[in-house]
Structure 1
Amino acid sequence: MNHKRTKRTTTLLCGATLLLAGVQGPALAAPSLPAQGLRTAQDVHAVQASEASHTVDLVSTADGFTAPATTRPGLTTFRASTTQAGKGWIGLARPKDGAGWDDFLDALSRALSNTPSDVPQGAKDLDATATLLGGLVIHPGRPGSFTQHLDPGRYLLFDYLAVGDAEPRYRWLTVSGDAVAQGLAPTATIVSKNVPGAGPRFEVRGTLRAGRPLRYVNEIPGQVNELLFVKIAEGTTEADLKAYFDAMPDDGTFPPNSPFVSASLGSLHLSTGRSSVVQVPLESTRYAALTWSKDATDGIRLVKKGLFTIVDVG
């Protein structure tokens, strides 16, 4: 691994360490997919899927992670679990124009860098290199799933928490054959979008239910983005969260007195106009829905610009 790559992947892993401690969300996005994922809010509402979905199993252990080399096109539910703490956040991407793993990792690392000046060009390079199709933030004993529409082609599955390892965990997935059209039916949709006069915001549609699927849609132009859920201390308000985020420096460190009382669960990054149906083990309580992604125009964390909200899970 060369020095340039080591420096960039270390930046990603620093963010991941804080997230595992329940303080920070992932700093990563999954590679991009020219193939159509669950496309936009209008498209995905037309999908009335059954629970008997076409599934692919992803398993992470101390020895690595296993994933199939092939699957069929259409709506595909990826079921993921991990038995090793600090590993198993599997992302999905489709590289463009023959881009390889190193091309993807280099662009991803700069797009999600904790150095704000690296982010704008990194975001442009990432958009040219891959389409991010989500993935899962999970932990041992807390599995999850996400659903994507796969067109025929070649995709990349990778472990975000292992990108800085001497032997990064990634697998190529070839999609071919007859299409399927089944997937998980969500009870709610959360959309990240730009609101005129306000800036980036989350919009919640429907009702979040414990243990049930939800749909995440990224509508922010030119911006990869994730959706994370973190339990908050009793009595925490959105004003408290704003004050905490305002106190954050831009170098990836976090102030003391965190309002968060759990590790994060949720969806890894999506490219603009993409969506994913995600099922993670949320409980019936209050969470902060947030992102640790940086603004592709200036490298500032989007939570500092208002991209967070408090949600009640029933």
Structure 2
Amino acid sequence: MTHRGNRATNPRRRTLRGAGALAGAALLLAGLHGPSGAAPAATVTGPDVPHTTEAPTTVDLVSTATGFTAPATARPGPTTFRASTTQSGKGWIGLARLKDGKDWDDFLDALSRALSDTPADVPQGAKDLDDTAVLLGGLVIHPGQPGTFTQDLRPGQYLLFDYLTAGDAEPRHRRLTVTGASAGRSPEPTATVVARHVPGVGPRFEVFGSLRAGRPLRYVNRIPGQVNELLFVKVAEGTTEAGLKAWFDALPDDGTFPPDSPFRSLSLGSLHLSTGRSSVVQVPLEPDRYAAITYSKDATDGIKLVKKGLFALVDVH
């Protein structure tokens, strides 16, 4: 019992330190890529792939300066989470399913270390996170730029949480109970972006289909033993893969960014997925050239995956 008591105290202090670093890095990323002015939101349109004869189950996630609202229950099956925020630095809501015997403190501690800016903390943090929860995505959004993500839910308990409040005195998180009869159908994506490890090459993003403004895309994480996100950010005219690589190579490990950024917009996209998971995502991308990037760390050595080639220049039509 004494060992359990120590575990409940000391990891909590470590959690707060790690969560503070996680939130600081997230906030820096939120403000890095361009001006804070909001772009108009895209409308969810287009045909659906049938799952049942019913429309998709849709739930709202609304973040403000003081908190976020989320449902306490949902039905099994494809569920579309429609997220918005009115406060900069708040509202990156993620979805996770905790494993048996794990709680919020276990999850926050493991997540903070898995995403830490201290490379030595990442490998064990990634292992602990894999033992603690399954990450099911979420959204990187901003005021005036809402989005949706769709997950196929099974009956059970889930966790909705705000990455950007991880270091706060009271991090924002809510329980979601999934129960009842299965219903709903998933939106039809026009493109699929796959993160995978290419033997002899390294981690890479591969794009299938056509990325289109105002239409959903599917993001799939196939990198073994690795949680990973997918972010889109507009690039300056003339940006090349070689130029991006040089900028990423200059990224320090402390969560700061070098000058002369090639980016000219805020990041939008999907929060972290565990290996083998996918999410249908829609964020307000516009017809333009973007970089598809991630700031996730390699679970084996804590090095940023972009430094190993996990980025791509893509066109949104």
Q: Identify the match of residue 197 of structure 1 among 188, 197, 200.
A: 200
Q: Does 1:214 align with 2:224?
A: no
| Residue of structure 2 equivalent to 1:12 | 22
For this pair of structures, how many residues does the alignment match? 293
2:23 touches 2:164 (CA, 8 Å); kept in 1? yes
1:180 is paired with a residue of what secondary structure? coil
Q: Distance in 2 between matches of 1:23 and 1:301?
A: 18
| Residue of structure 2 equivalent to 1:230 | 233
How far did residue 18 of structure 1 move? 1.7
- Identical amino acids, percent of aligned pairs: 73
2:231 touches 2:268 (CA, 8 Å); kept in 1? yes
Q: Superposition RMSD on alpha carbons, in Å?
A: 1.7
Structure with the greater alpha carbon radius of gyration: 2
Q: Does 1:168 align with 2:171?
A: yes
1:68 touches 1:173 (CA, 8 Å); kept in 2? yes
Q: Distance in 2 between matches of 1:237 and 1:199?
A: 19
Q: Does 1:311 align with 2:314?
A: yes
Q: Distance in 2 between matches of 1:72 and 1:170?
A: 19
Deviates more, 1:161-170 or 1:218-227: 161-170
1:111 touches 1:120 (CA, 8 Å); kept in 2? yes
| Residue of structure 2 equivalent to 1:81 | 84
1:23 touches 1:254 (CA, 8 Å); kept in 2? no
Q: How does 1:89-238 map to 2 (within 5 A)?
A: 89-238=92-241
| Residue of structure 1 equivalent to 2:66 | 63
2:107 touches 2:129 (CA, 8 Å); kept in 1? yes
How far did residue 17 of structure 1 move? 1.9
| Residue of structure 2 equivalent to 1:27 | none
Q: Distance in 1 between matches of 2:220 and 2:24?
A: 27
2:20 touches 2:168 (CA, 8 Å); kept in 1? no
Which segments of 5 or more consecutive residues in structure 2 lack a partner in the other structure? 1-8, 35-47
1:16 is paired with a residue of what secondary structure? helix
| TM-score under structure 1 length normalisation | 0.90
Q: Which runs of 4+ in 1 moved over 6 A?
A: none
Q: Distance in 1 between matches of 2:133 and 2:169?
A: 23
Q: How does 1:295-310 map to 2 (within 5 A)?
A: 295-310=298-313
